[in-house]
Each structure stands twice: as C-alpha cells, then as structure tokens.
Amino acid sequence: MSTTDPIRLSAIDQARALREGELSSEELTRAHLDRIAAVDGDLNAFLHVSEAEALATAREVDAARAAGEELHELAGVPVAVKDVVVTQGMPTTAASKILEGWIPPYDATLVQSLRAARLPILGKTNMDEFAMGSSTENSAFGPTRNQWDRERIPGGSGGGSAVAVGAYEAPLAIGTDTGGSIRQPASVTGTVGVKPTYGSVSRYGLIAMASSLDQAGPVTRTVQDAAALHELIGGHDPRDSTSLEGGFGSFTEAARAQDVKGLRIGVIEELEGEGFDPLVRARFEESLAALEGAGAEIVRVSCPNFQYALGAYYLIMPSEASSNLAKFDGMRFGLRVVPEESPTAEAVMKATRGAGFGDEVKRRILLGTYALSAGYYDAYYGSAQKVRTLVQSDFAAAFESVDVLASPTAPTVAFRLGEKTSDPLAMYLNDVATIPANLAGTPGISLPSGLAEDGLPAGIQFLAPVRADDRLYRVGGALEALLEDSWGGPLLAQAPELSGGIAR
Amino acid sequence: MSAVDLVDFDTALERYDPVLGIEVHVELGTATKMFDGAPNIFAAEPNTAITPVSLGLPGTLPVVNRKAVEYAIKIGLALNCEIAESCRFARKQYFYPDLTKNFQTSQYDEPIAHDGWVDVELEDGEIVRVEIERAHMEEDAGKNTHVGGSTGRIHGATHSLVDYNRAGVPLVEIVTRPIPGTGKRAAEVAAAYVRTLRDIFRTLEVSEARMERGNVRADINVSLRTSPDAPLGTRTETKNVNSFRSIERTVRFEISRQAAILDQGGTVIQETRHFHEDTGSTSSGRVKSDAEDYRYFPEPDLVPVAPSREWVEELRATLPELPAARRRRLLGEWGFSDLEMRDVLNAGALDLIEQTVAAGAPAQAARKWWTGELARVANEREVELDGLGVTPAQVAELQGLVDGRKINDKIAKQVLGKVLEGAGDPAAIVEEEGLAVVSDDSVLSAAVDQSIADNPGVVEKIRGGKVQAIGALIGPIMKATRGQADAGRVREIILEKLGVDG
C-alpha cells in the first residue's frame, strides 16, 4: 500500500486533490472501480456496479473543472448507494428477489442531489432484504463479508455500504437506518455512520420499511466526510410530507471544531451494563475518558423506558412494514409468478409474494399483519405507540441536563456468519442501543472506539436532540481526533490488507 | 331474479318502517390528484395521467393536495358540519389490483368534517332534514376492465386490464346518520338527498358532479323495522348506484324484498348488493361481516391536516349562496308558483333564467322561453339548455322586442329559430329580414276591409254579439302579412270598422 494511494484518502482529501489538479475524477473513479474489481468478488459489498455511468459523470466533472465551472465541493468524488434507494436507470432491488431486474423510472430525491452535485455513482450496495436484518445475511444475493474478517458479518442492514467504505471501494456511501442499519454496521466495520434527525434527509425514493422510523444518512470513514455528505443530501423536500424545513447548524463546521470544552455528555445507564461485551465497554469508557480529558463533562443519566424500546420497535416496525410491502404483488413491477392451475390476480399475488420474499421479510409481514388486526391493534400497535411516547419523554428529560447522550453502538463486535441466523431474537438484540433514536426521531452517530474482542472494531454512539445533528459532528470530530492521536492513525489502517480477492 | 319474493311497496310500508343511510362519494375537480402531481382528468388514454406516485412505485410518498382539503372543508361547511382542528389519514388495507399500494389512503376515525345536517326539499315542498355523520377525504382506485367474459364481468374473463388514471383522484365521502321517518317517501327522500348534494357540489364548484360519469356515486343502505320505536333492523348496502332514478328504484326494491323476507319470518342478511338497471332489482354481492378487517392504522407518510381556524372562517365567509337559499330567494323575487319553479329546476334552467332576468327580461317571460320553446328544441337536439348556443342576453333582447311591440310572439319564435341557427342577435335579424310588426293603419286598414268583404258570415256573427268569432277575420290578415301584422291593432281596427265594442 502506498500512502499516496488516492482511494485511501478521506473523501474531503480526495475532493481537495481533485480541486488542486493532483488527479482527475476519472482517475479517482477508475481507481475505485479497480478496487471493487479486485476485492468485491470476496466481499460482495456491491449488488450492481455502474462503471460506465460513474466514469461518464467523472469525465463530465473533469471537463467542467477544466472549463472553470463552479462545482460542488464533493464533485467528482465517487459514492456508493444502498440498494434500497431508488436510482433511475440503475437496478434497484432492496436485495430482494421480488425486485430483481426492476429498473426504476425515477430518482430518489437524495440521488438527485448526488447527481446535481455530480458525484459519480459507483453502484448499489448490498443489504439485508428490504433492510430487515443486522448482518446482511438476509440479502437474497448472498451476504456481504466484513473486511476485518471475512468469516464475520459486516452488520446490517447496511453491511454493503459500511464495507464499501471500510474496504476503500468507495470513499462515501449512502445508508438507511430504521433501527440501527447505518450505525451498527459502522460499529462492527470500524467506519463512521450517521442517522440524521428524522425528516432531515428526504425519504422520497427510499423503498420504505417503516415510514415513521426510516432515515437515510452518510456512511464514511471520517466524521468530516459524514458531515459533508449529510449537508449534501439533507434539506427540505416538498415531496416528503415528513421532511423538515431548515434550521440545522453547519455540520462541517461542527466536525472541524474539535472542541468539547464544557460539553455535557450523558451516559445512558440502561445501555452500558449487562449484554455489552467487556472490551466493547472498555473502549467505550476509554473514549469517554478521552473526551473528559479534553474538557467534556461526563454524567450518568437514566432513560428508564429504553428497556421497552426494543419490544415497541418490533411491533411498530413490522406493522408499518407489512403495509409498505403490500405493493409488491406482481401486478405492476418486479417479479411476477403465475401459477398455471389458477392464474387469477389473487393467486398471482400469493405466488409472487411467496416466491419473492425471504424468510425474515415474511416473518415481519406476519408479525405486523397480526399486530394491526382488529382486536389486537390496541394491545399491540396502540401500546407500542405509547411506549414510543415514553421513550421520547425520556430523551426530552435527559436533554434537559446534557447536550448529548452516549452508549456503545452495539453490544458486541462482529459475530460470525451464520452464528445468529437461526435465532431471530438474538439477532434483534444487536439493535438494543440504536433503536431508541429511531423511535424518538433523534439523530445519532457511530464512530470507532477501538479494537475490542478478537481484535475487531467496536463503536461508540452519540445521540443528540432533534435538529441538533451538529452536536454529533462536534463530539464525533473531537473524539475521532483524540483517538486517532492515541492510535497513531485511523483505526482502519489496522485492518488486514485485502488482496486480489484472496481470503487472508 | 324471479326467485325473489317481493311485497308491494305500499303494502310493505303499512307493516314496516324503513330507515335509510346513504354514503355519497364525490370526485373533486382539482387540477391534480389527492396525493400526487398527476393530472386529475377524465377519459384520457389509459395509464397516461399517472406518475410514479400514482402507480405506488417503491419509494414514492404521498403529499396532501391543499386544494382538495379546501374543497372538503367547503363541502363540510355547506353541510353545516364541524371542521376538525386536526385530522389524520389512515391506511385501509386490502389486496386488489386496482389499488396500487394494496391499501387505500383514507380517513378513518378522524374525518375532516363531522356532525352536520342538510335540508332536503321534496317536490311538493316538504323539507326533510338529513343528519350528516361525517365527510372525509380519500383517494379513488384505478379501474379494472375484464376481457373475454360475456358481460365484462370478471366471471369467465380471460384477463383483466387496469387503468390507473383514476387511481388517486380525490374523493370526499359523505355519510349520513340513519335517516328515519321517511315512510312512503323513502325512495323520494333518497334521490332528493343525493340531488341536493349534487347541486351543492356544483354550486361550490368543487366537482362537475356528473352522475353519468361517476363523479357522484351513492351507496344506499336500507333496513326495515316493525315500528319507529323498534331497534334498527339489519341493513343492506347497495353499492355504486349512480342515477337518481336508480336510487329510487333501489330503495323501492329493497323495501319490497326485505318486507317479503320479514313477512316469512326470515332474517335479512347484512351484505352489499348490486343494482341492475335492466330489471330494477338488486342482487347479493358479498356478505359484509365483522370478519372483514382492513387493519386501519394512521398513515405514517403524512402529517396531520390541521386547517387553521382563520382559514376555515375565510372559507365559510366566501361560501357561495347555496342552492336551497338561492331557490327560496329567487322564488320570492320572481313570484313563480311552486309548480313553475319545479319545472324550472327540472329543466336545469335556473341559472339561465337568472341571467336572462339580469339582462333585462321579466322573470315570467324568461321562464316561458327557457322551459317552453328552448326546452323543446334542446330536447329535440338532445343537448342541455346551455348547449343550445343561445345566450340569456339574446333571449332578453328577443323579449325586449316583443315587449316593445316590435314583433309579436309568433315572429319572436321565428327569430329565435334563426338565432338558434346562428344567424346573430335578435334585433339584427329582425332588422335585416324586415320582420318588424306591421302596425301602420293604412296598410292594415286595407287588409281589414278585404277580410270583412271576404267573410260576411263572420261579420254577421260579430255584429250579433259573438265577438269571439273575430279570430276568423284576424287569421287571414295575419296570413296575408306573413304574421307580421300587429294582431292587437288589427283587432282594434276591425271592431272600429264594425262599430262593435271589444
């Protein structure tokens, strides 16, 4: 590895190199495509690589730059997009057989933003089918493998995006986070992921799992890169009724500030004890100590209703998902299975859904359908919504005394492929720390806290009040710098080298 | 159908008290759809008035059409409803190919308008107050066409086509409370209620409200009970009845059918039924039971609709005069009899007469033109009155010529005929064609002399006191002058010449 290898630079530094003429976007994009060709056969982070389109965009940027046109700061820096995000003219499957071959006729709003800023789109990243899972093992097109250990899961649902940036296949990626699908993969791959405030990034063009929980956000290697990508894809969208008007601080300024003096950090008592592995907790405590050393104030806060969050989540999410996934019926797009003996519309719908959806998707559709049924609605969906309100009030109470909250992002480091596939409950517990933010709509960031069990990365999560995403970048940027000083460089530099698709 | 026992309608009502309940769907005439920027148009090529949102493609999201909300509030206000301060949409979930998302976005337990009433006027002027439970917003579904079956029905079809142009068209559904006490007028009340709503929609300009296009569709619930004190009986719901006549026939048929069942000690099954235009009967659709579970839950892709009180009051203040109030006002101003007013309404001539009066014609004269000669021609040509090509201003001008004695009624009809042919305005036609009445005594006098000379028998009768025989003298004169003679003046001259008092 050469230290000048452009794909190892942060996205911000790649952008600087482009601006300063050190390399062209075409060269940079080609370097990433070469990297994908070299390592993705093993990693399976990409479901689709859009080489021609990415290079065309790169050449446009180069021409525009040569012509002296004003360009977006990130113009020419490639990006990978999670396959749950709709891309015009580019396959979009949400890692499901039911959408195999579907070419959308429109772009998600955030994809329009990427295109308008002229970021070459390298392709679509792997994920758990319809973003349902915590390991990317539920992809209909095979799991993604963790670049730290290819026998380990990369987290989920956005394992593909996390590994794409973690393995230098892309400097930037888009993820979506319904219960932790950006933050938990970041945690187990040693990368950075941000779930923005609900409504901060348009959901128009995100294939919905749970409408009231889904939020797209940046997946990167550095906090500053995340801030820059968040600013690019954020903003009000009239096509999304739940989209927020402005009123956010500058994320990039906050990420650069590296100043936590007087910042009050609340450690969530309910999310630090039992169930969290010892070294994961140790890295968490060390991170807090580093912040305290830099002038932050660490306090303990209690969020008593967080213990009910997982249960509430597994009622609300499947309820909404069961409804959102009803449209996949073989009538208008995607897979259509026609049973010979009885080709009625109803039979086609049944056969298509039976063949097109994987087990976890079916499990959640069944759960949600049951929870919304007459006679059960109040007990399940209704009660879960009450818990949701309680979780929100826990956040509100906590943020009266602290600026941000902190916890380990996930209870463990990456587990082995197949280890939890037969135990859905164990799988669901991965998201115990990330789910409360989705229920409350509050923003959260995960960044590496160091190496924990088995020499694998662990993550620390910060949560901020709604619209105070800038606080995440302030504390994240500061901690990242403190930890990298102590490590002598980025954590990812300690990851094993990948070479030519040969497992280590 | 022949197997159905029926009790004569009037006989049935001697034994049973009918209770109605009516759900009316109206398609709003907004430029775009309920949750989508796709155009809201009728009869375009199939699947052209669509966007990714109309098709419910993965990733798409709804956005509430503000104009549709405004129209829904106007309807609510016109029906004396309370307007919700905040209300949500919900998803009504069931699988059917005409639903792009396999749920309909509708309002469930939080309608935008609720607890209102509307007075329905029957033909003889009796007023029936119908209480409105709610009016809520929702989206229409696409349209299935079944191909290969004998009757266009799904049974026997080889395949079906779906047109999503209608998918997402904004609807307001208006639901009555049970309507008791209509007795023998049940059928009339049902039709008059829907007509009343139709007229309100048109006045509010929220919909073209054309029944034949399905802009307004009614679901008619009917139940019978033994007496007004008894609890409500089991109801049936006949879906999508879309003409006033069909509504009346539906109510009559269901009362007759249910009475026969009850007479035999049977029980009415709660179900949806379909009305058949050809036979005037209804047939069983699907059994509607509590087992039908739409798994409603609040639509998470939309925020609540919270119309500000200022906006609601602004809409209330700018509501147009509603049809009933307007009819009462015009009836007073014009002095028509109830019967005359009914003819006017049936002919759809109210607006035209009002405009004709505004252009200067007396109300009765305006009425006679529009419900007489013009209605006859419209009927002949099978067009609406306002499609005849004659303007209220032209009718008023024509009447002005008559009142100014420039032309008589008979010539006026000729002139009108020419106006209908597109020959221009009445005064110009009279001028160009020399149709003005001849009232020059020197011309008329000679004609009178001739007529007197030609008809000695008639002259004798008149002189003998039978003045009414004078028509036999006037007729030939009118004929000789091609109708242009001033008949009144002719009569005066004859009487003068014969020395008889009129």
CATH of the domain at A39: 3.90.1300.10
The stretch B365-391 carries a mean pLDDT of 92
Q: Which of A56-60, B155-159, B496-500 has the highest mean pLDDT?
A: A56-60
**Token pair in block for residue B242:** 């879309």
User: Among B96, B103, B300, whose Cβ lies nearest the Cβ of A212?
Assistant: B300
Produce one character per residue of B482-499: b if its CB has 16 or more CB atoms within 10 Å, e if not: ebbbbbebbbebbbeebe
Q: Is the omega angle on the peptide bond into residue A319 within 30 degrees of 0, that is, cis?
A: no
B97–A381: do the CB atoms touch at under 8 Å? no
Sequence-distant contacts of B425-432: CB under 8 A, at least 24 apart = B425/B394, B425/B397, B426/B394, B426/B397, B426/B398, B426/B401, B427/B397, B427/B401, B430/B401, B430/B406
* Domain-embedded: residue A116: yes
Q: Say what the pLDDT of residue B288 is.
A: 56
Q: Which residue, B394, B417, B433, sits at the end of a domain?
A: B433
What confidence category does residue B287 fall into, taking pLDDT thresholds of 50, 70 and 90? low
Could you give the 3-state DSSP secondary structure of residue B203?
helix
Confirm whether B308 is domain-assigned.
no
Query: What burial class does residue B391 get, using C-beta atoms within 10 Å of its C-beta: 0-12 exposed, 13-18 middle, 19+ buried?
Result: middle
Nearest Cα to Cα of residue A461 among A410, A409, A405, A395: A409
Q: How many Å apart are CA A380 and CA A372, to the nearest integer? A: 8
The boundaries of the domain holding residue B481 are: 441-498
In terms of domains, do B462 and B379 share one? no
Predicted local confidence at residue B162, as pLDDT: 94
Average pLDDT, chain B: 91
Stronger pLDDT, B130 or B472, i.e. the higher one? B130
- Is residue B269 domain-shared with residue B337, that is, in the same domain? no
* B489 vs B91 pLDDT, higher one: B91
Q: Are residues B272 and B391 in the same domain?
A: no
Closest CA to B146 of B164, B135, B158: B158
**A49-58, A195-204, A368-377: the lowest-pLDDT one:** A368-377
Pick the more confident residue, A2 or A130. Answer: A130
**The pLDDT of residue B387 is above 90:** no
Within a domain: residue A324?
A: no
Which range among A376-385, B281-290, B370-379 shows the weakest confidence by mean pLDDT?
B281-290
Average pLDDT over residues A90-118: 97
The answer to whether residue B244 is domain-embedded is yes
Asked whether the predicted pLDDT for residue B347 surpasses 90, the reply is no
Residue B401 scores a pLDDT above 50: yes
CB-CB contact of A381 with A249 (8 Å): no
Of residues B218, B205, B209, B68, the one with CA closest to residue B137 = B68
Q: How many domains, in total, are found in chain B? A: 3
pLDDT of A503 higher than 50: no
In this structure, are B344 and B238 located in the same domain? no
Confidence band, pLDDT 50/70/90 cuts, at residue B348: confident
Interval A141-152: pLDDT, tens: 999 999 999 999
Query: Residue A159 sits in which domain range?
Result: 6-307+388-494
- With contacts defined as CB-CB under 8 Å, which chain B residues touch A239? 61, 63
Note whether residue A255 is domain-resident. yes
**Residue B129, SS3 per DSSP:** strand
Last residue of a domain, one of B433, B449, B466: B433
**Whether pLDDT at B63 is above 90:** yes
Cα distances from B18 to residues A267, B221, B264, B268, in angstroms, run: 68, 10, 17, 13
Cβ neighbours for B305, distance < 8 A, ≥ 6 positions apart: B64, B69, B84, B86, B87, B88, B89, B112
* Cβ B170 vs Cβ B65: under 8 Å: yes
Residue B151 pLDDT exceeds 70: no
Dihedral of the CA atoms A273, A278, A283, A289 (nearest 10)? 60
Q: Do A323 and B295 touch (CB under 8 A)?
A: yes
User: Would you call A373 and B293 a contact, using CB atoms and an 8 Å cutoff?
Assistant: yes
Domain ends where: B433, B451, B477?
A: B433
- State both tokens at B418: 């020419």
Of A203, A210, A369, the CB nearest to B61: A203
Q: Judge contact between A152 and A159, C-beta under 8 A.
A: no
| For residue A271, pLDDT beyond 50 | yes
**B447 and B423 co-located in one domain:** no
Alpha carbons A61 and A55: distance in angstroms, whole number:
10
Q: Is residue A273 part of a domain?
A: yes
Tokens of B4: 């159905």
Calculate the CA A294 to chain-centre distance.
29
Q: In 10 A of CB A105, how many CB atoms?
A: 13
Interchain contact A85–B (C-beta under 8 A): yes
Q: Do B58 and A94 touch (CB under 8 A)?
A: yes
> What residues contact A105, with CB distance under 8 A and at least 6 apart?
A88, B52, B57
β-pair partners for B218: B24, B241
Q: Are residues B272 and B217 in the same domain?
A: yes
At A416-470, the pLDDT tens digits run: 999 998 888 888 888 999 999 999 999 999 999 999 999 999 999 999 999 999 9
Q: Tell me the Cα Rg of chain A.
A: 21
Structural domain includes residue A485: yes
Residue B50 sits in the same domain as residue B193 = yes
What CA–CA distance (Å, rounded) separates B320 from B297? 36
Residue B296 shares a structural domain with residue B375: no
Q: What tokens were used for A485?
A: 């000083």
For residue B343, what is the enclosing H or E element? Answer: helix B338-346
- Omega prior to A157 cis, within 30 of 0: yes
Domain count, chain A: 1
Distances (CA, A) of A353 to A334, B102, B164: 11, 13, 22
Size of interface A-B (CB pairs under 8 A): 99
- Partner-chain contact A85 B61, CB within 8 Å: no
From A189-203, A272-286, B62-76, B128-142, the region with the lowest mean pLDDT: A272-286
Instruction: Give the amino acid at A328.
Output: F
**Distance between CA atoms of residues A157 and A209, nearest Å:** 11
Chain A residue at shortest CA distance from B296: A372
Other beta carbons within 10 angstroms of residue A55's beta carbon come to 18
Computed over every residue of chain A, the mean pLDDT equals 96
Q: In whole angstroms, how far apart are CA A355 and each of A92, A337, B227, B243? A: 18, 8, 57, 45
| Model confidence band, residue B4 (pLDDT cutoffs 50, 70, 90) | confident
Q: pLDDT (tens digit, 9 = 90+) per residue, A2-29? A: 457 999 999 999 999 999 999 999 999 9
Query: Residue B215 has which token pair?
Result: 């802009």
Predicted local confidence at residue A181, as pLDDT: 98
Show the tokens assigned to B30: 């907004």
Residue A141 lies in a domain: yes
Residues of chain A in contact with residue B300, where contact means CB-CB under 8 angstroms, are: 210-212, 320
Check B61 against A239: CB less than 8 A apart. yes
CB A115 within 8 A of CB A81: no
Q: How many Å lie between the alpha carbon of A276 and the closest alpha carbon of chain B?
A: 33
Burial B261-272 (b: 16+ CB within 10 A, else e): bbeeeeebeebb
For residue B500, what pLDDT is reported?
A: 82
Let me know whether B78 and B119 are in one domain.
yes
Whole-angstrom Cα distance, residue A193 to residue A221? 8
CATH code for the domain in which residue B448 is found: 1.10.10.410
Please name the residues between 141 and 200 in chain A that touch chain B, using a CB distance below 8 Å.
none
Judge whether A350 lies within some domain: no
Residue matched to tokens 């493609």: B57
Which residues of A have a catalytic role annotated?
82, 157, 181
> To the nearest whole angstrom, how far is the Cα of A143 from the nearest Cα of chain B?
23
Task: Kindly state the average pLDDT of the residues A74-90.
Answer: 98
d(CA A438, CA A12): 28
Same domain, B392 and B449: no
pLDDT at residue B150, as a whole number: 66
Give A40→chain B minimum CA distance, Å: 27
At A297, which helix (H) or strand (E)? Answer: strand A297-301
- B305 vs B501, residue with greater confidence: B305
Q: Is the pLDDT of residue B486 over 50?
A: yes
A278 pLDDT higher than 90: yes
pLDDT band at A275 (very low <50, low <70, confident <90, very high): confident
A53 is a domain residue: yes
Q: How confident is the model at residue A247 (pLDDT cuts 50, 70, 90)?
A: confident
Helix extents (H) in A44-80: 51-66
Residues 234 through 293 of chain B touching chain A, CB cutoff 8 Å: 290, 293
Q: Read off the tokens for A341.
A: 């003996």
Pairing status of strand A404-408 against strand A264-268: parallel
- Chain B interface includes A345 (CB < 8 A): yes
Q: How far is B53 from B59, CA to CA, in rounded Å?
A: 9
pLDDT of the residue at A126: 98
Model confidence over A418-432: pLDDT tens digits?
A: 999 888 888 888 899
- Please name the residues in contact with B338: beta carbons below 8 A apart, sequence gap of 6 or more: B124, B125, B331
The answer to the question of residue B368 being in a domain is yes
pLDDT above 80 for B406 = yes
**E strand segments, A329-439:** 404-408
**Rounded-to-integer distance, Cα A90 and Cα A49, Å:** 9
Q: Does one domain contain both B453 and B420? A: no
- What confidence score (pLDDT) does residue A2 get? 44
Enumerate the residues of chain A whose CB falls inside 8 A of the CB of residue B63. 238-241
Does residue B316 fall inside a structural domain? no
> B431-461, pLDDT tens digit by residue?
888 888 776 777 788 888 888 888 888 888 8
The pLDDT assigned to A502 comes to 42
Which among B170, B217, B179, B221 has a CA at the least distance from the CA of B197? B217
